[in-house]
């Protein structure tokens, strides 16, 4: 017999009780997945989660936590249902997405129905969903789109809490690129005017000269000075816009005719790949010295080489996961 779940707390307790049994088949179908999702799926190993990778609604960093815990994540588009099902135990059909906002501190007004173990055919529902496996490419697209959405809607994101060591162990690790300069320069008139027209800012937070195709919007760039072959002023730069500088602009550089621009401060962009703590900075400087600054300067692409990542890991005394 169905039971009405009248409050957010009722929905939360019903879901967590259903999913406590670690040996039975369990399926969560949630349109969107947000911060804190891992708190609502106990004994995660073996759970299947289906969600919609919609920027601004599904958080890619929450998905990585779930995947790391042993949950199989699948994507489908235009999903709106929320169903939490456990074989032989029952299911909850509810308005609540899988997030702290819906099931915890968000204090949203949620409603649900707890149904018996034979009331719902979960496989019939799954057959009607055009599900697909999560790929690195789609996760990277979600990373970019999510960060741009948060910045566009003036949401304060904060910084990543992952260390470099934790980043190495993440499934489908958030990508990043290398950005360097040998000297300081002034932003071109083209980019200055572009940022003013698009975003209404007089001064951008950070920027970097680039070759065509080096960076695209949504990229995280580990940015540093390399004037004396040793990295200094190490910081994250979020590529919010790429402006192409025309030759008529006094700031034009024929070798680096583009500028990757971070419009706002870093707390407007979610999910930098890892925090730049003291131990990482020291390891990165030592790794660059061993790797060779000229290898970074002369690289065809700004992606960090596997050898450099392994050297950073070695300096930290850790063994990197497979590339």
Are residues 111 and 169 both part of a single domain?
Answer: no
- pLDDT bin (cut points 50, 70, 90) of residue 159 is low
What is the mean predicted confidence (pLDDT) over 182-195? Answer: 94
pLDDT score at 271: 80
pLDDT score at 71: 97
pLDDT score at 270: 85
Residue 81 lies in a domain: yes
Cβ atoms of 195 and 261 closer than 8 Å: yes
* Residue 320 predicted with pLDDT over 70: no
Are residues 103 and 176 both part of a single domain?
Answer: no
pLDDT one-digit tens code per residue, 197-221: 999 999 999 999 999 999 999 999 9
* Residue 179 predicted with pLDDT over 70: yes
What is the mean predicted confidence (pLDDT) over 37-52? Answer: 94
Instruction: Indicate the pTM of the whole model.
Output: 0.84
pLDDT score at 65: 92
Are residues 102 and 44 both part of a single domain?
Answer: yes
pLDDT score at 160: 58
Cα 183 to Cα 180: distance, rounded to the nearest angstrom: 9
Average pLDDT taken over every residue of the chain: 93
322: its two tokens: 């497979």
- pLDDT bin (cut points 50, 70, 90) of residue 158 is low
**C-alpha 252 chain-centroid distance:** 33
Residue 152 lies in a domain: no
Residue 322 lies in a domain: no
- pLDDT bin (cut points 50, 70, 90) of residue 104 is confident
Residue 140 lies in a domain: no
pLDDT score at 153: 81
pLDDT one-digit tens code per residue, 218-260: 999 999 999 889 999 999 999 999 999 999 999 999 999 999 9
What is the mean predicted confidence (pLDDT) over 112-124? Answer: 96
Are residues 235 and 272 both part of a single domain?
Answer: yes
Integer angstrom CA distances of residue 37 from 66, 207, 318 = 8, 34, 29
Cα 15 to Cα 90: distance, rounded to the nearest angstrom: 10
Are residues 56 and 174 both part of a single domain?
Answer: no
- pLDDT bin (cut points 50, 70, 90) of residue 157 is low
What is the mean predicted confidence (pLDDT) over 106-112? Answer: 86
Cβ atoms of 113 and 3 closer than 8 Å: yes
pLDDT one-digit tens code per residue, 285-310: 999 999 999 999 999 999 999 999 99
What is the mean predicted confidence (pLDDT) over 261-269? Answer: 93
Residue 193 lies in a domain: yes
Residue 304 lies in a domain: yes
Where in the sequence is the domain holding 289, given as residue range(s)?
157-315
What is the mean predicted confidence (pLDDT) over 145-153? Answer: 88
- Phi–psi pair at 243, nearest 5 degrees: -105, 135
pLDDT score at 154: 67
pLDDT score at 7: 92
Are residues 40 and 165 both part of a single domain?
Answer: no
Are residues 179 and 263 both part of a single domain?
Answer: yes
254 CB burial (10 A radius; 0-12, 13-18, 19+): exposed
- pLDDT bin (cut points 50, 70, 90) of residue 35 is confident
Cβ atoms of 176 and 220 closer than 8 Å: yes
Are residues 68 and 123 both part of a single domain?
Answer: yes
pLDDT one-digit tens code per residue, 60-103: 999 999 999 999 999 999 999 999 999 999 999 999 999 988 88
Are residues 210 and 172 both part of a single domain?
Answer: yes
pLDDT score at 107: 75
Residue 287 lies in a domain: yes
SS3 category, 272: coil
Q: How many domains does the chain have?
A: 2
Q: Pick from 101, 134, 167: which residue ends a domain?
A: 134
Are residues 81 and 112 both part of a single domain?
Answer: yes
Side-chain half-sphere exposure of 35, counting CA atoms within 13 A: 11
- pLDDT bin (cut points 50, 70, 90) of residue 122 is very high
Are residues 291 and 179 both part of a single domain?
Answer: yes
Residue 228 lies in a domain: yes
Nearest to 162 by CA among 239, 89, 236, 105: 236
Are residues 189 and 274 both part of a single domain?
Answer: yes
The enclosing domain of 72 has a CATH number of 3.30.870.10
């Amino acid at each position: 017999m169905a039971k009405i779940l009248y409050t957010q707390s009722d929905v939360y307790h019903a879901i967590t009780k259903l999913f406590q049994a670690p040996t039975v088949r369990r399926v969560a179908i949630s349109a969107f997945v947000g911060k804190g999702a891992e708190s609502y799926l106990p004994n995660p190993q073996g759970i299947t989660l289906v969600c919609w990778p919609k920027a601004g609604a599904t958080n890619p960093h929450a998905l990585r936590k779930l995947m790391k815990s042993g949950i199989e994540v699948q994507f489908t588009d235009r999903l709106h249902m929320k169903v939490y099902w456990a074989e032989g135990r029952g299911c909850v059909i509810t308005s609540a997405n899988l997030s702290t906002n819906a099931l915890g501190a968000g204090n949203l007004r949620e409603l649900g129905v707890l149904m018996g173990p034979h009331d719902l055919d979960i496989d019939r529902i799954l057959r009607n969903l055009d599900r697909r496996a999560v790929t690195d490419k789609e996760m990277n697209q979600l990373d970019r789109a999510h960060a741009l959405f948060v910045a566009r809607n003036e949401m304060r994101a904060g910084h990543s809490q992952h260390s470099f060591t934790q980043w190495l162990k993440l499934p489908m690790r958030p990508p990043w690129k290398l950005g360097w300069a040998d000297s300081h320069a002034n932003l071109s008139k083209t980019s200055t005017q572009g940022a003013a027209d698009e975003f209404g800012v007089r001064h951008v937070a950070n920027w970097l000269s680039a070759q065509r195709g080096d960076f695209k919007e949504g990229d995280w760039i580990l940015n540093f000075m390399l004037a004396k072959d040793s990295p200094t002023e190490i910081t994250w730069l979020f590529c919010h816009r790429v402006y192409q500088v025309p030759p008529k602009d006094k700031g034009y550089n024929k070798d680096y005719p583009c500028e990757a621009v971070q419009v706002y401060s870093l707390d407007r962009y979610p999910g930098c790949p890892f925090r730049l703590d003291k131990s990482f900075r020291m390891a990165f400087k030592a790794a660059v010295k061993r790797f060779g600054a000229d290898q970074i300067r002369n690289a065809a692409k700004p992606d960090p080489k596997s050898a450099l990542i392994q050297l950073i890991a070695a300096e930290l005394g850790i063994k990197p996961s497979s590339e």
